[in-house]
Structure 1
């Protein structure tokens, strides 16, 4: 009952503030526009509609690439919402009344994890819809296969939802370790938008780094999904299996949560 109370309280906190739907709206616009534009470019090229191109007839493979954009460029949003789930408590000093209402800190954290999983699923559904719907419509409009008739595509879409849940958990762990909200957001954005992409590019060209690159969080998330625009041209020999990518991403979440719980969550709060 305590865990259910904590989860209900966390969901109420999130859905009575504007940040969740603002991030969801930005996610939909950002990912949806990129997916639609890239789908149009690929479809036009595949059908020879663009000057200087020849018809290739490609469809399902390109469809998977477009649909996977939900994770490969959209994962920063569940990561951010997970981080904000925790750092918001420290910033607005609401953690003290939270602990007074529910003294069991483990239950409070469990409630955040369950609420985060709900938000991760919600964001995942939004990301899948804004990539798969316009992407499939564009491919169908050009007379190409959408790939939505295959079980492999739907399995990939399901794994995107799992990835989003795991990204929220990683974000919660990050928020526990870095309690300052501004610092946590800067770290998340810097790592996801600059540091890891550079490391992954380096790993693609430096053989000695290839074994390390596949264990980076974003690479693990892409491996879990099974497709990524960042893997184009780099081959898949050094890519983890989908279940391996999921375990690595889960490992990041567990390690961060444990470190944060021991070093931050158990500390006295004012």
Structure 2
């Protein structure tokens, strides 16, 4: 516990966390406006008039359901929010090398796995903190948006609260992924640039890849999108099961698997890597 408190103090004693926090707030506002605009647009779309296949039309109808519209809005900001907590998790590790404090840290605590576990826990706690702030803001503003859409706040729906809760899990897991990535990429600037590029370009690239190949290979191929971490976390926060998509729990299992792999690999590497 003392090590976790020490790691939390290290994060709080730098300006990085609140800079990322301010960026997250700005991106959250943009995401909420974008989701509002999207909900307004899709509310007037009749799937039967769009020339869609039966399965595609059913997907649109389910997405238009009030509970799914609400779940989407109440989890606004996740896409870039988890990117921010991942970068923060990476910097928790790379800061040690950037400021040349790694040697001192491991001399004070020779059992390196304890240090890494403390960094994982502290990063996850900060990730949940970022989730809490954006969720409170969503709970404040989204009911007004839903009322403007004539669907009501939907806060009595268990599916909405399940999506909000799974969103918290996603934030914590992405923070753990960041710590693992920070062990692999020691450079602070290198980690920030590499992870941001891979996350943003990789997500849209993967979506395009599956979109182009699914008609040629088959519908089963599109379900493999859940193996892409950002798409797995988006699946987790869907209100109800979406036709043509794996269950939400599959997205959670995939993301947990990546987090365990990143955390475990990071701990193993740090225990064996020379620190100078």
TM-score band by shorter chain is: 0.7 to 0.9
1:212 aligns with 2:224: yes
The offset of 1:206, in angstroms, is 1.4
Aligned match of 1:226: 238
Decide which of 253, 257, 268 is 1:262's aligned counterpart: 268
Give matches, 1:28-67, under 5 Å: 28-39=25-36, 42-43=39-40, 46=43, 59-67=66-74
Larger proportion of helix: 2
Give matches, 1:82-121, under 5 Å: 82-121=89-128
The offset of 1:205, in angstroms, is 3.2
Cα 1:212–1:198 change in 2 (3 A) is same
1:23 aligns with 2:20: yes
Question: Matched residues in 2 for 1:236 and 1:265: separation?
Answer: 45
Cα 1:133–1:246 change in 2 (3 A) is same
Cα 1:36–1:130 change in 2 (3 A) is farther
The offset of 1:43, in angstroms, is 4.1
The offset of 1:133, in angstroms, is 2.6
Aligned match of 1:136: 143
> Per-residue CA shift, 1:196-255, capped at 9, x if unaligned?
211122213312452432201111111222269xxxxxx742x33222211211211222
Cα 1:72–1:246 change in 2 (3 A) is same
Cα 1:236–1:130 change in 2 (3 A) is farther
Question: Matched residues in 2 for 1:82 and 1:242: separation?
Answer: 25
Decide which of 69, 79, 83 is 1:76's aligned counterpart: 83
**SS of the counterpart of 1:206?**
helix
Question: Matched residues in 1 for 2:11 and 2:243: separation?
Answer: 39
- What number of residue pairs does the alignment pair up? 253
TM-score by structure 2 length?
Answer: 0.82
**SS of the counterpart of 1:69?**
coil
Aligned match of 1:7: 4
Kindly indicate whether the alpha-carbon contact (under 8 Å) linking 2:92 and 2:119 is maintained by their aligned counterparts in 1.
Answer: yes
Kindly indicate whether the alpha-carbon contact (under 8 Å) linking 1:220 and 1:240 is maintained by their aligned counterparts in 2.
Answer: no
The offset of 1:42, in angstroms, is 2.8
**SS of the counterpart of 1:260?**
helix
TM-score by structure 1 length?
Answer: 0.84
**SS of the counterpart of 2:77?**
helix
Cα 1:240–1:37 change in 2 (3 A) is closer
Question: Matched residues in 2 for 1:244 and 1:194: separation?
Answer: 23
1:191 aligns with 2:198: yes
> Per-residue CA shift, 1:174-206, capped at 9, x if unaligned?
111111111111111111111221112221331
Kindly indicate whether the alpha-carbon contact (under 8 Å) linking 1:44 and 1:142 is maintained by their aligned counterparts in 2.
Answer: no
